Chains A and B, each alone.
Chain A
Amino acid sequence: QKEVEQDPGPLSVPEGAIVSLNCTYSNSAFQYFMWYRQYSRKGPELLMYTYSSGNKEDGRFTAQVDKSSKYISLFIRDSQPSDSATYLCAMSARATSGTYKYIFGTGTRLKVLA
């Protein structure tokens, strides 16, 4: 079993739809939860970063973390064609050596149709 599971998609939605992207994880040591957006042939770009369970909102984006269920979500409201990209979830924990270990999901490819 992978430490982080993410549906690879692709996910196609009409413009204006609400998009829900999800990841599950198995390691309860993860402390930090991130969502990255990656456009084709570009590096991942940090979208949202959360530490605790609950919701965090930034414009049209809401990140949700449920540590008890080991489940995180990213919601995109009023989706736009410019949101078409691959969305990667990521989680990190500090190892005993002091290193920060980051584990990434495989990414969900999203296409928003105009």
Chain B
Amino acid sequence: GAGVSQSPSNKVTEKGKDVELRCDPISGHTALYWYRQSLGQGLEFLIYFQGNSAPDKSGLPSDRFSAERTGGSVSTLTIQRTQQEDSAVYLCASTGGLSTDTQYFGPGTRLTVL
């Protein structure tokens, strides 16, 4: 596709349930980032994938958060045993092509934990 896509666009879940968020990066982009954006906060880095290298997980806030990137393309962010403080917009970005230092963002998934 022409841009980064994410699904679902909105997710409402109950506290304690697991959720999976999906990101389809721009075709050919080698790097993929996940961020969390809470109201009034900047983008909080979560995890970074680059090619076949081990991911940089330094931003994951707890062991309830994990992410995979299959085949160097699609990525899934999983949050287990969700808590109310996990409510936020989760954004995915990919980089690559002619300008490897600029990020192109998807529309985000708005997660609400009740």
Q: Chain A interface (Cβ within 8 Å of chain B)? A: 4, 6, 8, 31-32, 34, 36, 41-46, 49, 88, 90, 92, 97-107
A32 contacts which of B50, B101, B105, B108 (Cβ < 8 Å)? B101
Known: A42-B107, A43-B108. A104 touches B102 (CB 8 A): no
- Residue interface bits B80-96, CB-to-A below 8 A is 1, else 0: 00000000000101010
Shortest C-beta distance, B44 to chain A (Å), equals 8
Q: Say whether B27 faces chain A, with CB atoms less than 8 Å apart.
A: no
Residue pair A99, B48 in contact (C-beta under 8 Å): yes
Of the four ranges (under 10, 10 to 19, 20 to 34, 35 or more), the interface on chain B belongs to: 20 to 34
Q: Which secondary structure characterizes the binding site on chain A?
A: strand
B42 contacts which of A31, A49, A105 (Cβ < 8 Å)? A105
Residue pair A44, B50 in contact (C-beta under 8 Å): no
Q: Say whether B99 faces chain A, with CB atoms less than 8 Å apart.
A: yes
Known: A49-B102, A97-B56, A98-B50. A88 touches B43 (CB 8 A): yes
Q: Say whether B79 faces chain A, with CB atoms less than 8 Å apart.
A: no
Known: A99-B48, A99-B50. A45 touches B105 (CB 8 A): yes
Q: Say whether B31 faces chain A, with CB atoms less than 8 Å apart.
A: yes
Residue pair B42, A104 in contact (C-beta under 8 Å): yes
Known: A90-B103, A99-B50. 18 other contacts (CB 8 A): A4-B42, A6-B42, A31-B101, A36-B105, A43-B4, A43-B6, A43-B93, A44-B91, A46-B103, A46-B104, A49-B99, A49-B102, A88-B42, A102-B45, A102-B103, A104-B43, A106-B40, A107-B42
Q: Which secondary structure characterizes the binding site on chain B?
A: strand
List chain A residues, Cβ under 8 A from B53: 98
Q: CA A102 – CA B58 in complex, angstroms?
A: 13
Shortest C-beta distance, A48 to chain B (Å), equals 10
